[in-house]
Amino acid sequence: MKLDDVLTHIGGYGRFQILIFVLIGLINLRSSGYLLGIVFIGYKPDHHCTLPTNATLNESVPLELDNEGNWQLSQCKMYAVSGSNKTITCTDGWDYATEKGEKTIVTEWDLVCGQDWLVDMSTTIHMAGIMCGSLFITPLSDRVGRKHVLLACLWIQTALAFGLAFTTSYLQFVILRFFIGALNRGIAVISYVMMTEVFPPSHRTLPGIAQQVFWAAGLMGLAFIAWLVKDWRDLSLVISLPTVLMVSYYW
């Protein structure tokens, strides 16, 4: 007798299946923060060149048209000499229009003007990690066992996510984001397969679709948390905290 025949015989939605469904759902709930947290961690506020001593905005920063045809302070240029029309790139960094306590990787590492592409690059590197996770981690679970690989990925991801909050350079940040992405994809695929395998074939469609409710709830929770936590390092720590609770899944 095959496993699917046994599952069909004992019934579709028992307490054990519902428990597994919820536990796997909690894994999906926290995973959205790793993927889309960059929206808040890499947020780019309005900015302009840092002004020379005793200078004013009007005499130091020129106006330019934005994409909507409105005049605004230039974000990347300043006057070479006060009162002249010659402009140069910012020489003393940037001032950012941020709320009290608000910090992002953009404001910390000045990822603006000629460096603004690095924020999008961090997402590209994260997605490359997701691709590698699909190619290498999920097949490993078929050989070693899903639970063992899932728990290992969760624990390693917790350590890396905590480390992300203490990075001191962009390079460290993207390297950790790559491996977090790889582990996140492995966790997602392995957990989904584990969840569907406890349901008989005729009952797998509904729980498979309903898992997306946890993902959506995670997105809404992420937006609320990011509204409360303004510092990207603190936000990274908060995003990683739910994964710590997954250590209990060993039992």
User: With the CA atoms of 80, 82, 85 and 90 taken in that order, what torsion angle do they form, in degrees rounded to the nearest 10?
Assistant: 30
Does residue 153 contact residue 183 with C-beta atoms inside 8 Å?
yes
Does residue 228 contact residue 39 with C-beta atoms inside 8 Å?
no
In the block, residue with structure tokens 């905590």: 162
Average pLDDT over the chain reads: 86
pLDDT score at 8: 59
How far, CA to CA in Å, does 149 sit from each of 137, 192, 198, 246? 8, 13, 18, 13
pLDDT at 222 over 60: yes
- Compute the distance between CA of residue 57 and CA of residue 62 in angstroms, rounded to an integer: 8
Point out which residues pair with 94 in neighbouring strands: 49
DSSP code per residue over 172-188: HHHHHHHHHHHHHHHHH
The mean pLDDT value for 58-81 works out to 79
pLDDT 10s digits, 179-195: 999 999 999 999 888 88
pLDDT score at 131: 94
Q: Which helix (H) or strand (E) holds 73?
A: strand 71-73
How far, CA to CA in Å, does 13 sit from each of 8, 63, 231? 10, 64, 43
Write down the domain spans for the chain.
3-43+115-250, 47-97
- Compute the distance between CA of residue 202 and CA of residue 73 in angstroms, rounded to an integer: 61
pLDDT 10s digits, 7-62: 556 666 678 888 888 988 998 888 888 989 999 999 998 888 888 877 777 778 87
Specify whether domain 3-43+115-250 bears CATH 3.90.550.10: no
pLDDT 10s digits, 126-182: 999 999 998 998 888 888 888 889 989 998 998 999 999 999 999 999 999 999 999
The model's pTM = 0.86
**Both structure tokens of 92:** 């003393």
pLDDT at 247 over 80: no
The mean pLDDT value for 222-230 works out to 92
